[in-house]
Structure 1
Amino acid sequence: MAGGLPSALRRLYLSIYNWTVFFGWLQVLVLAVKTLHESGHEHVYSAVERPLQLAQTAAILEILHGLVGLVRSPITATLPQIGSRLYVTWGILYSFPETQKHIMVSSLVISWSITEIIRYSFFGMKETLGFTPSWLLWLRYSTFLLLYPTGIASEVGLIYIALPYIKRSEKYCVRMPNKWNYSFDYFYAAILALGIYVPGGPHMYSYMLGQRKKALAKSKRE
């Protein structure tokens, strides 16, 4: 009984977490599609800004889940994906409003939200019911084949579009002289971020292809 209680609490917590974030992303998708249809892509960001920020920022907890052993997902796979999305959410879209009306915001939001709705419902059902239906398993490990490239392309595109605004505004830059004897240029940091996508994107895609192969093979055996 003593050993079962922590396990039950873990499953309860992860169930609540996954379903809460699932509904957050569902709200993002509904608002994005509704706004896209009724008002056009220029208004998508303003419609989804708050739920998008909340749902994406909540993913920070997944890093903590991995660090404390609540889940088995490797930090090396979780951290780059969450880090890049947080950077685009806060470091680009929130920080540089000039990017918010671009059509790639719509492709970004829709790619992210569909991916996360499937992912969080998959883990939510796994924690709540102890299993996931085969169709959801297939969606979890197949829809990324299209949505990962569209999401990555949108992330890269929005960072690139933000570059002139970053350079002109000098936001988040630290210039010398100062008491720390330190300088930082956000423009070059953004260029570095773009450079990281070059090896990082294909690497993550290959990793996910490997995960798909293992998950679907295991499903067939069962």
Structure 2
Amino acid sequence: MAGTLTSSLRRLYLVIYNWTVFLGWIQVFYLAIKTLRHSGHQSVYAAVQTPLLLAQSAAVIEILHSITGIVRSPVAATLPQVSSRLYVTWGILFSFPEIRTHFFVASLVISWSITEIIRYAFFGFKEAFGFAPSWLLWLRYSTFLVLYPTGITSEVGLIYNALPYLKETGKYSVRMPNVLNFSFDYYYGAVLALGIYVPGTPHLYGYMLGQRKKALAKAKSE
């Protein structure tokens, strides 16, 4: 009986979590599209900043979900994807206002929001009802074929375009001498991050292709 109660509480928690974050991304998408139509891509970040920061930061909890086994997603797949998005959200966009009007911001926000709306709806249905509609399953495992490349291109493009401002301002860099006898250059950290995208992108894309094949084959057999 204790096991049944624990399982029910887990499902209730995940239902609330998924649908709450789903609504957050709906707001991000709505504001982005509305702003694009009326004010252009230069104003997108200003319109979506608060809900974007909240919705994207909520993904930190998903790393804990993977670590604790609340969900079956492997940490090796969850950690790099969440980390890269948080880095772009907080370490680039939030930290360097100079690039917030770049057109890559609009493509990033739209790519992220569509992806996340579908993903959280998919898991919200599964936790609430034990299944997801077939059309939603197809969207979950097919739209990334386009949205992942556009999202990654936007992430890389924004980091690259932020490099001059990272170098000029020296923001978040630690210079010697100091008490800890430690130095860190945020500019070179960003260059390293760009380098990580080179092997990381095909790895994650290949992982998702494998997941797509399994999920659609399973759905077809059922």
Q: Give the shorter-chain TM-score range.
A: over 0.9
Deviation at 1:2, TM superposition (A): 2.2
Residue 117 of structure 2 is matched in structure 1 by 117
Residue 142 of structure 1 is matched in structure 2 by 142
Q: Whole-Å Cα distance in 2 between the matches of residues 46 and 60 of structure 1?
A: 23
Tell me the secondary structure at the aligned position of residue 2 of structure 2. Answer: coil
Aligned pairs for 1:21-40 (under 5 A) are: 21-40=21-40
Residue 183 of structure 1 is matched in structure 2 by 183
Tell me the secondary structure at the aligned position of residue 106 of structure 1. Answer: helix
CA RMSD of aligned residues (A): 0.4
Q: Whole-Å Cα distance in 1 between the matches of residues 3 and 62 of structure 2?
A: 24
- TM-score normalised over the length of structure 2: 0.99
Q: Whole-Å Cα distance in 1 between the matches of residues 3 and 99 of structure 2?
A: 51
Consecutive unaligned residues in structure 2, runs of 5 or more: none
Q: Whole-Å Cα distance in 2 between the matches of residues 2 and 90 of structure 1?
A: 41
Deviation at 1:95, TM superposition (A): 0.3
Residue 168 of structure 2 is matched in structure 1 by 168
Q: Which amino acid aligns with 1:113?
A: S
Residue 93 of structure 1 is matched in structure 2 by 93
Q: Which amino acid aligns with 1:111?
A: S
Consecutive unaligned residues in structure 1, runs of 5 or more: none
Deviation at 1:137, TM superposition (A): 0.3
Q: Which amino acid aligns with 1:121?
A: A
Identity %: 73
Q: Whole-Å Cα distance in 2 between the matches of residues 13 and 113 of structure 1?
A: 22
Displacement over 3 Å in runs of 4+ = none
String of CA shifts for 1:26-77, please: whole Å, max 9, x gaps. 0000000000000110000000000000000000000001111100000000
Q: Which amino acid aligns with 1:211?
A: Q
Residue 82 of structure 1 is matched in structure 2 by 82
Q: Whole-Å Cα distance in 1 between the matches of residues 73 and 109 of structure 2?
A: 24
Q: Which amino acid aligns with 1:82?
A: V
String of CA shifts for 1:114-158, please: whole Å, max 9, x gaps. 000000000000000111111000000000000000000000000
Q: Whole-Å Cα distance in 1 between the matches of residues 3 and 170 of structure 2?
A: 55
- TM-score normalised over the length of structure 1: 0.99
